[in-house]
Amino acid sequence: MSPRVARLRVSAREPGVCRVEIEGVGRFQVDARTVGALGLAEGQAIAPEVVGRLVSAAERQRARTVALGLLQRRLRSRAELESALRRRGVPRDEALAAIGELARSGWIDDARFARAWIADRLALRPSGARRLRTELAIRGVAPAVIAEALAAQLLPEQEEAMALRQAGDRLRRLRGLPPNVARRRLVGWLQRRGYSSGTIARALRKVGPPGEGSPDDDSSD
């Protein structure tokens, strides 16, 4: 005997979502459009394949709700959202379907995410293009998207000026060390900040040799 729809209500908190209870199967929250597409009504007997479609729709709705909650805290890349949904047990197909829907609605945009990430880093923790590129790649942003965002927000001359300013500030913390030691530590620090070898070399030529004074703690990154 086919299960029946025991209860069907529109969510009071989410008007576009319906709560569906199927006798002997369980309760589901699905998009109202899904209810219409499946032709569900209270008391109606439904076939097993319809139950399967209802289960998939409920997983997709859960994925969308979780993804929106994460996006309201901060921007995230598509890859970050997919990983977060998979950690919460959402099947891959349903996670991708929900992410695709959110992308079409403008909620997810890797280009916007990359621009925001770079702007935030440059304002709060200035880093070279190499480090920014690595950070975005780790978050699943495509190389072409990263390159476009960097080209728009970090011109070569800006990166050079930033490296020179940071080299000068760092060098003052290395006073009193032997010149070769100070230079080695400064180069290592600039490399960890994500600057290329060429940028570092030009900054060192302009900033000059280490001065005299008392060394400061240089262990921080």
pLDDT tens-digit map of 31-62: 888 888 888 899 999 888 898 899 888 888 88
Cα–Cα distance between 82 and 96 in angstroms, integer?
7
**Residue pointed to by tokens 């290592």:** 188
* 165's tokens: 């300013």
56 vs 102: CA distance, rounded Å? 17
Q: Which pLDDT score, from 0 to 100, does residue 210 have?
A: 60
Residue 16's pLDDT band (boundaries 50, 70, 90)?
Answer: confident
Strand locations in the chain (E)? 5-10, 17-22, 26-31
Q: pLDDT tens for residues 140-159?
A: 999 999 999 999 999 999 99
* Residue 131 burial (C-beta neighbours within 10 Å; 0-12, 13-18, 19+): middle
Architecture per CATH, 5-104: Orthogonal Bundle (1.10)
pLDDT at 205 over 50: yes
Domain boundaries, given as residue ranges, for the chain: 5-104, 110-153, 156-207
Report the mean per-residue pLDDT for the chain. Answer: 89
Beta bridge partners of 185: none
Calpha distance 203→170 (Å, rounded): 12
| Confidence (pLDDT) at 214 | 38
Q: What is the pLDDT of residue 211?
A: 52
Q: 21: which strand partners?
A: 7, 27
